Chain A
Amino acid sequence: GAGVSQSPSNKVTEKGKDVELRCDPISGHTALYWYRQSLGQGLEFLIYFQGNSAPDKSGLPSDRFSAERTGGSVSTLTIQRTQQEDSAVYLCASSFASGSHNEQFFGPGTRLTVL
């Protein structure tokens, strides 16, 4: 069965450009999470979705970051006017339902480099 997929796997962009990162969760998983991992660091929680709604957006670092999820499936993380400090690996995870008793299944990540 297919796991969580993310695209692109690598993205190099120039400072000031917008980027879109995509996550395809495991079919049937209602909860979806976005994290950011800087080099040699832990995971920084960004946002999670239960269905199409995001109950908590407090983890987004700035108003340049936004995310949406449509049809309870695919999610897109958009970073506007990228800055060099946005360079990181962006990880997506899904779980059968929200709740910390559920295992998260992670995608391979998108490595974003802002020049």
Chain B
Amino acid sequence: SQQGEEDPQALSIQEGENATMNCSYKTSINNLQWYRQNSGRGLVHLILIRSNEREKHSGRLRVTLDTSKKSSSLLITASRAADTASYFCATDAGTGNQFYFGTGTSLTVIP
């Protein structure tokens, strides 16, 4: 079974609004990463958060990690139409060497 599960499965917002996506996982982790996938393309790395970190920022992205709840959230502020994509979390399930991806959140930003 997959390690990560994102919710919601789909999200539609107006340009300028904030988008929040959540990821829950099952086992302890060393690191958690978020990736973005545009339709029909490969994935692009967005941000890494380590298990001893609680929050990280990168531009308009903010990621939080709550290891006690085994969950992470990705916040995109001031969304743009170009942010339309699928977003995946990936965890290492404590293995440290391989990644397990969730099912993804499909984000649509309406201009």
Measured CB to CB, the residues of A under 8 A from B are: 4, 33, 35, 41-45, 48, 50, 55-56, 59, 91, 93, 98-101, 103-109
Q: Whole-angstrom distance from the CB of B58 to the nearest CB of chain A? A: 12
Number of CB contacts from chain A to chain B under 8 A: 69
Provide the bound-state CA to CA distance between A55 and B95, in Å: 12
A42-B2, A103-B33 known; 18 other A-B pairs, CB under 8 Å?
A: A42-B103, A44-B2, A45-B100, A45-B101, A48-B97, A59-B98, A93-B42, A93-B43, A99-B96, A99-B97, A100-B29, A100-B31, A100-B33, A100-B91, A100-B92, A100-B95, A101-B48, A109-B42
- Tell whether B28 is near chain A: CB-to-CB under 8 Å: no
Q: Whole-angstrom distance from the CB of A52 to the nearest CB of chain B? A: 16
Question: Looking at the complex, which one of A44, A59, A91 makes contact with B42 (CB distance below 8 Å)?
Answer: A91
Instruction: Check A56–B88 contact: CB distance below 8 A.
Output: no
Q: Which residues from A are CB-within-8-Å of B99? A: 33, 45, 100, 104
Measured CB to CB, the residues of B under 8 A from A are: 2, 4, 29-31, 33, 35, 41-45, 48, 50, 88, 90-92, 95-104
In the complex, the chain B residue whose C-beta lies closest to that of A92 is B42
Instruction: Check B42–A100 contact: CB distance below 8 A.
Output: no
Instruction: Check B100–A4 contact: CB distance below 8 A.
Output: no
Instruction: Check A4–B42 contact: CB distance below 8 A.
Output: yes
Q: Which residues from A are CB-within-8-Å of B101? A: 35, 42-45
Instruction: Check B43–A98 contact: CB distance below 8 A.
Output: no
Provide the bound-state CA to CA distance between A4 and B42, in Å: 10
Instruction: Check A106–B33 contact: CB distance below 8 A.
Output: no
Q: Whole-angstrom distance from the CB of A4 to the nearest CB of chain B? A: 7
